[in-house]
Structure formats: structure tokens, C-alpha cells
A = this chain, B = another copy of it.
Amino acid sequence: MEWTETLCRETGIRFLTTRPSEIEAASFAIIKEELGQEFLKACPQDQLPVLCRVIHTTADFSYKESLYFSEDAVSKGREALASGIPIITDTTMAASGINKTAAAAHGIQVRCFIGDEDVKEAARESGITRSAVSVDKAARLYPDCIYAVGNAPTALMRLYEKIRTGEIRPRLVVGVPVGFVNVVEAKELILSAGVPCIVARGRKGGSNVAAAICNALLYDRKV
């Protein structure tokens, strides 16, 4: 594949391509090249587009080691999406990063309850996080859904409790909160909950990563 080079006359900096249609393809070509042939062959082929999109979003190749997929997580996630069930996110930022055109094509709603007045009030009254209260609300409204958690370990902890009590059974949990407090522990917890999950083990993740994983599943593309 050849790219359209652009030269900045003033500085002499060469830009690979500025054509919208070429930028993403060029990015994925670079990512695959750097992952290397050996890795590309060894990596389960259904997981590869998800991993590549996470690296595309973060420029961080450490996800190669840290991104965990439960058995058939990708096919189960795609199946759930094909049936049009909603995606519930823990932050408006993750919701905002999910491709709405792709979601709409599947008839999928993307919802986030963190800013809802009733959630704020319940969090104030109970002293727990708004993220945990949001899970309670989602569980009431959407017993059948995908959870995408990019920020709040307390959301994963609440999900774990509700899964263990049998109250909910998510079709997929994207568990990629980022941070330093409870993040590693909450991810290990959700891994043991017995539901399909895609989890970035360790401290890293984020709303952008949560959205990227959902988009990779929505796009249903090979890389």
C-alpha cells in the first residue's frame, strides 16, 4: 500500500498522509508491523482486531501482555451486539467515544447514568460512589446488557456482587478502569465472576480503551 506524502515546505517535515481514508489503514499497518509476524500468527484471530484498536487508541504496546479475554469473549460480545442489546458505560466519556453510527446500525443504545439526578442523590445518601449506584440503576433498567467500565473500579466491584448474587448476568463486561486505588484488585475480581469479559490487567486502561474495545466489536472488521 502506498501513502500520499505531504511535505511541509516551511519546516521540511514530511507527513505520511493527511487523507482521512488512508490515516487509519496506515496506522493499523504500522501497529501490525510492530507487533511482528510471530505474534500475529500466535494471537487468536478474533482477539487481534480488539487488541490492535486498543493499541491504536493508546499507542501503548503493553496491552499485548495485559489484555485478557475470557473464553469466546469476542464472539459472545459480537453475538450480544448483533442482538441489539444496549451498552452501559460508567462515564459519559466512554459513551462519547463509542461510534454512534456503528451502534445505531445494530440498533444499539449507549447509555450512561453517572450524571442522573437520582444517581447523584442516592450516592450522596449512601456515601458510595456514583459509579456503583449507576450499576444499580442499570441492573434495574437493563437486566440484559453489556457493561463497559473504563474509569471506576467501584463499578466493577458492584457488578461482581450482583453477578454473584444472581441478580444480573451481563452478556459481556469490558473491564478496563485505570488508576491506582482498587483498580488492579477490581479487575482480578471481575475475572473470577464467571461472565464473558475483556479486561486490561494491571493499572492501565481508561474510558478511551473501553470505547475502543466496544468499537472493535461493533466494527466486526478483520485487521
A residues whose Cβ falls under 8 Å from a Cβ of B: 8, 10-11, 13-20, 23, 26-27, 30-31, 56-60, 91-93, 95-97, 123, 127-130, 132, 154, 157, 164, 178-183, 185-186, 188-189, 192, 202-208, 211
Q: What's the Cα separation between A202 and B30 when bound, in Å?
A: 15
Q: What's the Cα separation between A15 and B93 when bound, in Å?
A: 25
B57 near A178 with CB under 8 A, answer: yes
Taking CB atoms, residues of chain B closer than 8 Å to A26 are 180-181
B18 near A154 with CB under 8 A, answer: yes
Q: What's the Cα separation between A96 and B100 when bound, in Å?
A: 15
Taking CB atoms, residues of chain B closer than 8 Å to A180 are 26-27, 30-31, 56, 59
Q: What's the Cα separation between A185 and B13 when bound, in Å?
A: 7
